[in-house]
Amino acid sequence: MLEQFANWVKDVVASMGYPGVFLLITLESTLVPIPSELVMPFAGYMASKGAFSLPVILIINSTAALLGSGICYFIGAKGGKPFLERYGKFFLLRQHDLEKTERVFAKYGKWVILIGRFVPVVRHIISIPAGIARMPLKTFFLQTFIGSTIWGGFLILLGYQLGENWEAVATKFKRIDLVIGVVVVLGLLALGIRFVVRRRRERRERTNNAD
């Protein structure tokens, strides 16, 4: 399956050129699970062959990442927060939880966004809670730019240097990424279950005290 996806990525990039790279990297910065470990090394490899300009690819990487992350940020800011304020009680979320999220992003947001760009799964979703917390745009875009430029630039230059061997190394990177991603998902599920159990216990205690 991974090989088929790699072939699809190559077809998109080879047939669409720069717009294809821009599209894939934009999607990679949203909730769409496009693997950067395949897109960017292949773009770097194409640059090593002279099909692409390396500086242009590096610029596209940073610009597309900003666009994709910005879209998710505004989804969180314009839709996520009002939705949770109105319907959060059905998900056991209280106004206090939203205020706590805002405080966390106000204090640690720049590090959360920066580090999140290097973590599987997290890089796809981190912009949504940043938007919900209304993280300052200047800080959000700066940290997104720094993180995406370092991560994407590394992968592009890796593909550029590896040449024909880019796919074998990129596939190994992606497998490691998948393992880390599974660990992250399991961790998030564990936190979610812990949150639900604690919230239900608090609700039972309030009910018993009321009686």
Confidence of residue 64 (pLDDT cuts 50, 70, 90): very high
CA distance 101 to 112: 12
Closest CA to 13 of 30, 31, 38, 33: 38
Q: Domain spans of the chain? A: 2-210
pLDDT per residue over 161-189, tens digit each? 887 766 666 666 666 666 655 665 566 56
| Nearby residues of 117 by Cβ (< 8 Å), 6 or more positions away | 65, 123, 126, 144, 147, 148, 150, 151
| Cβ atoms within 10 Å, residue 81 | 19
pLDDT per residue over 23-39, tens digit each? 998 988 887 877 777 78
CA torsion sign for 104, 115, 70, 28 is negative
Note the pTM of the prediction, 2 decimals: 0.72
